[in-house]
Chain A
Amino acid sequence: QSALTQPASVSGSPGQSITISCTGTSSDVGSYNLVSWYQQHPGKAPKLMIYEGSKRPSGVSNRFSGSKSGNTASLTISGLQAEDEADYYCCSYAGSSTLGVVFGGGTKLTVL
Chain B
Amino acid sequence: QVQLVESGGGVVQPGGSLRLSCAASGFTFSSYGMHWVRQAPGKGLEWVAFIRYDGSNKYYADSVKGRFTISRDNSKNTLYLQMNSLRAEDTAVYYCAKDIGITIFWWGQGTLVTVSS
Residues of A at the B interface (CB closer than 8 Å) are: 1, 3, 34, 36, 38, 45-48, 51-52, 57, 89, 91, 93, 98-106
**Docked pose: A34 CA to B105 CA in angstroms:** 12
CB-based contact B45/A48 at 8 Å: no
Residues of B at the A interface (CB closer than 8 Å) are: 35, 37, 44-47, 49-50, 57, 59-62, 95, 101-110
**Docked pose: A36 CA to B37 CA in angstroms:** 15
**Docked pose: A6 CA to B109 CA in angstroms:** 24
Residues of B within 8 Å of A100, CB to CB, are 47, 49-50, 59-61
**Docked pose: A101 CA to B47 CA in angstroms:** 6
- A107 — nearest CB in chain B belongs to which residue? B44
Residues of A within 8 Å of B45, CB to CB, are 38, 46, 89, 91, 103, 106
Residues of B within 8 Å of A93, CB to CB, are 102
**Docked pose: A46 CA to B93 CA in angstroms:** 12
- A45 — nearest CB in chain B belongs to which residue? B107
**Docked pose: A51 CA to B102 CA in angstroms:** 10
**Docked pose: A103 CA to B107 CA in angstroms:** 15
- A6 — nearest CB in chain B belongs to which residue? B44
Sampled A-B contacts (30; CB under 8 Å): A1-B47, A1-B61, A3-B44, A34-B101, A34-B102, A34-B103, A38-B104, A45-B95, A45-B107, A46-B107, A48-B104, A48-B106, A51-B103, A52-B101, A52-B103, A89-B44, A91-B45, A91-B104, A93-B102, A99-B50, A99-B57, A99-B59, A99-B102, A100-B50, A100-B59, A100-B61, A101-B47, A102-B47, A103-B47, A106-B44
